[in-house]
Structure 1
């Protein structure tokens, strides 16, 4: 039986973020394909490690009392030390603690690393954490046997740091939503089909202020539903966003329940997406899977993901114009919604993505599938 050990996430079931959702869906796909799947799970408490089974996936549960970066680093180190007792191929999500992945390299244990976006470049980390992330990115490019980019632009970036033969683009996925209860929508005072959504981490690089300003430029007869944890008392940017909002903007806080999120997306009349950095954003893919018309920030990341299925903006004035156009044209909404579904079905289903992961992992499980030029695990990154 082929075996893979999945590291670097909080574990399954997914209730944290994009990496966890990917680990869960890829893990379930591989399980159905006959793999033995072991996922390392971070448990926020003290105590001894234990193992159990969740939906046919083996879990190694590692208690970590510390929070934040130090807790993550402790969890990653313990996971790697445990996984390195075996010769199984590893699938690692993220490079934040790639210095520990040197252990797998020394032991010649194949390690496939999902490199996420250009995480070190995010201004919110500050100079010290940016330096740590930059260093670990370079280490990951050396120690990883295969590197996964979630977007072609990220692959091109990684090609400046690693051999192109090590690189593969595999995006994030989402399950198509064809129906959903209206209960989670009406319970929050929303009217199905009469609101737009904005779902992202509340930081400046996600262009939230411009989106809220543009939407609030005039009366819409629609709501803008903003999800995320906003703390205006302690965060100046959060305060600016909330002060710019008209009375048609609704801040619902963070919602983590997958069923509720699916319903809110499905019954929306459109989705606003302001991400300016990174690669393929899970929230954007999930909006497309729900058939949402999209208004997206104009950059190479978003243009490749949505393609022709969106209106694009760069300024708050662009947002105002795009919202007016979208809400005033039902035929345009239907056209963009169909384009979102078609693009999702072509590129972003978990079946497609799981198959891509399996193809890549098969090459490491069976070295005969590797090209001759790539069989030496000790070759440099570039």
Structure 2
């Protein structure tokens, strides 16, 4: 084995320390994990400025190189410019490139032609989301194909995503590695009091307020009659958005909409003390928020699809319309034994499938295999990568 430290660059996120979402949280976890094991790790961080004065600027944070990359634009254009400059810089470095998502995959052939090894987490099947216009869905569809064939190795965060990617590349080109989480053993009740909530007497939903997350169905089903409990819907609402107005109009007096809350301790407390977690996502892979709900011991009421059934397992009550959603709500609120059984199942499922240690070790082994430092990992029936070489 070579004596030099292995190197990894992380592309495709807004950067770390994490402040934006699931990919950023994962990037931070992986970067710290690998740095602690002797890797040289660089993470590209997007910096939007009025005018570019210094395209790249590096600083060290907890043993990780943060590669601040300036772009003088905003919105989708800024993201594309950022992706291009990250790829351009990564092509000059001797490191495996871990790309999170494929929205900017159009630039990956440049990186591959430069002789760099590319490991891409393919995220969800973005082009299937009905919220996007046809041109945008076409862009995502094309980029999915480009990423699939430009990358040396693909990562699916869910077995169903792995099945989908097998229609793009041979199945052996994809590793299935889910998202991770950590146990939540306690949480303060003060954040509850601020919202007028009592521990164990409310349900919570944490998601973007979008049709493919079934937020309207969740709110309508809960609001059909008085329940003596609350439903907390976390997410950003805009009066300019017709769907957001529809959700608000459907909400009964027991529905609380505090907006988006980004304080991790408050969000964790809202999960930990909830009677259950409502998850209406209809597309995507292993959803980070659902995994975090399992680690908090939340019984789950989820839209009935293969993504959610695999993730939640025995911790879930599943619905496919407003009537079955309301039935699941009534069952969970009215049956203490059921709630206790689902809580135990949630913790067991989290511990079995979604530990950070297992997830991060799997990524490390994939990167080492691309550097020819270890054999390719074998796949397990659960979809989690084994640490045992073939």
User: What's the TM-score, normalizing by structure 2?
Assistant: 0.92
Which among 186, 191, 195 is matched to residue 179 of structure 1? 186
Which among 18, 30, 37 is matched to residue 14 of structure 1? 18
Partners in 1 of 2:136 and 2:255 — Cα distance?
Answer: 34
Superposed, 1:49-88 pairs within 5 Å as: 49-88=56-95
Deviations 1:250-284 (A, max 9, x none): 00101112111111111111100000111111111
Superposed, 1:116-265 pairs within 5 Å as: 116-231=123-238, 233-265=239-271
List runs of 5+ in structure 2 lacking aligned partners: 378-390
Task: Work out whether residues 301 and 317 of structure 2, in 8 Å CA contact, stay in contact via their aligned partners in 1.
Answer: yes
Q: 2:35 corresponds to which residue?
A: 31
Q: Secondary structure at the match of 1:66?
A: coil
Structure scoring higher RCO (CA < 8 A, sep ≥ 6) equals 1
Runs of 4+ in 1 over 4 A off after TM superposition: none
Partners in 1 of 2:375 and 2:345 — Cα distance?
Answer: 37
Task: Work out whether residues 117 and 152 of structure 2, in 8 Å CA contact, stay in contact via their aligned partners in 1.
Answer: yes
Shift of residue 194, structure 1, vs aligned partner: 1.4
Inter-CA distance 212–370: structure 2 relative to 1 (3 Å threshold): closer
Count of residues paired in the alignment = 370
Partners in 1 of 2:265 and 2:376 — Cα distance?
Answer: 41
Q: Which moved more, 1:48-57 or 1:91-100?
A: 48-57
Superposed, 1:85-124 pairs within 5 Å as: 85-124=92-131
Partners in 2 of 1:4 and 1:68 — Cα distance?
Answer: 27
Q: Secondary structure at the match of 2:72?
A: coil
Task: Work out whether residues 186 and 192 of structure 1, in 8 Å CA contact, stay in contact via their aligned partners in 2.
Answer: no
Task: Work out whether residues 7 and 94 of structure 2, in 8 Å CA contact, stay in contact via their aligned partners in 1.
Answer: no
Task: Work out whether residues 105 and 143 of structure 1, in 8 Å CA contact, stay in contact via their aligned partners in 2.
Answer: yes
Give the alignment's Cα RMSD to 1 decimal.
1.3
Q: Which moved more, 1:186-195 or 1:66-75?
A: 186-195
Q: Secondary structure at the match of 2:116?
A: coil
Shift of residue 367, structure 1, vs aligned partner: 5.6
Partners in 1 of 2:349 and 2:316 — Cα distance?
Answer: 11
List runs of 5+ in structure 1 lacking aligned partners: 372-382
User: What's the TM-score, normalizing by structure 1?
Assistant: 0.94
Partners in 2 of 1:335 and 1:34 — Cα distance?
Answer: 42
Q: 1:376 corresponds to which residue?
A: none
Partners in 2 of 1:61 and 1:30 — Cα distance?
Answer: 20
Shift of residue 370, structure 1, vs aligned partner: 5.2
Task: Work out whether residues 9 and 42 of structure 2, in 8 Å CA contact, stay in contact via their aligned partners in 1.
Answer: yes
